[in-house]
């Protein structure tokens, strides 16, 4: 079984990636906590590649990384790369977002997720991106999920991410879509000598 280091210190993200990649023969592990990578990219794709490459080089192992965030039309794509830093807590981030959108009629938004895989030399060998379009509600709906999930509504599903069960969210989310694109590529990579 080949090892794939997940360029994060977040055990929740590790579990989520394990779920997406469960049909493959890869053993996923967290990067060491002391190994930090500064996200200096200007896009989600650049940040994912940066994290995967630096972790792979530092450990001389295969590495996978993702970077994701929420882009709101009326806010010119904000919070974007700074989605996680838009407030100290999920509640603060949601409150700031809803305040910024008070009185705004265009509530269109999209979640974006970029995933990159680097070989032990740090070369990016696979990349994928998933986008999930929806809109921002004026108040929270649902108890599940995390982050902006309670206010991110998918009209075609008639529910927020926070109202979806794990299987629905995995299939429909930006991260799920990125991994659906990545999976066949990763399978072919795995079969190479």
Give the count of alpha carbons within 13 A of 92, CB side only.
7
Residue-wise burial string across 61-76, b where 16 or more C-beta atoms lie within 10 A, e elsewhere: bbbbbbbbbbbbeebe
Q: In sequence order, which residues have a C-beta less than 8 Å from that of residue 102 and are 6 or more positions away? A: none
* Rounded Cα gap, residues 10 and 29, in angstroms: 11
Told to judge if 67 belongs to the known catalytic residues of this protein, a careful annotator would answer: yes
* Rounded Cα gap, residues 82 and 140, in angstroms: 21
Catalytic entry in 25, 36, 67, 149:
67
Report the DSSP pairing between strands 108-118 and 124-136. Answer: antiparallel
Phi, psi (rounded to 5 degrees) for 29: -135, 155
* Rounded Cα gap, residues 70 and 177, in angstroms: 15
Q: Which residues participate in catalysis according to the annotation?
A: 67
């Amino acid at each position: 079984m080949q090892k794939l280091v997940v360029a994060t210190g977040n055990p929740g993200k590790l579990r989520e990636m394990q779920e997406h990649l469960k049909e493959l023969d890869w053993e996923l592990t967290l990067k060491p906590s002391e190994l930090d990578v500064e996200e200096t990219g200007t896009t989600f794709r650049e940040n994912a590649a940066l994290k995967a490459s630096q972790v792979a080089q530092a450990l001389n192992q295969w590495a996978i990384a993702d970077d994701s965030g929420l882009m709101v039309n009326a806010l010119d794509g904000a919070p974007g790369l700074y989605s996680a830093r838009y407030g100290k807590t999920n509640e603060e981030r949601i409150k700031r977002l809803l305040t910024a959108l008070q009185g705004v009629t265009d509530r269109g938004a999209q979640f974006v997720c970029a995933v990159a895989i680097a070989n032990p030399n740090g070369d990016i060998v696979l990349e994928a991106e998933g986008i999930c379009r929806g809109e921002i509600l004026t108040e929270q709906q649902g108890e599940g999920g995390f982050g902006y999930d309670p206010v991110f509504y998918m009209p075609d599903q008639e529910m927020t991410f926070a109202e979806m069960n794990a299987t629905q969210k995995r299939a429909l989310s930006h991260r799920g879509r990125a991994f659906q694109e990545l999976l066949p590529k990763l399978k072919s990579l795995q079969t190479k000598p």
